[in-house]
Amino acid sequence: NGFKLKEGRFKLDIRMNFFTVRVVKHLNRLPKEVVDVPCLETFKSRLDGALSNLI
């Protein structure tokens, strides 16, 4: 997708347990159809569809 987040590298192991650090890999793996939408409601519905396909 066109909105990739940068994964940081940290010297402290405790920083790797933060939610914001752990979720970056998952957000970057979302398909372009989910991320490139004009409104929040469309994003939510497409995100639900993408996540249900993973389960």
Mean of the per-residue pLDDT values of the chain: 81
pLDDT confidence tier of residue 23, bands split at 50, 70 and 90: confident
Q: Which two tokens stand for residue 55?
A: 């389960």
More confident: 38 or 9: 38
Give the span between the Cα atoms of 38 and 22, in whole angstroms. Answer: 26
More confident residue, 1 or 39: 39
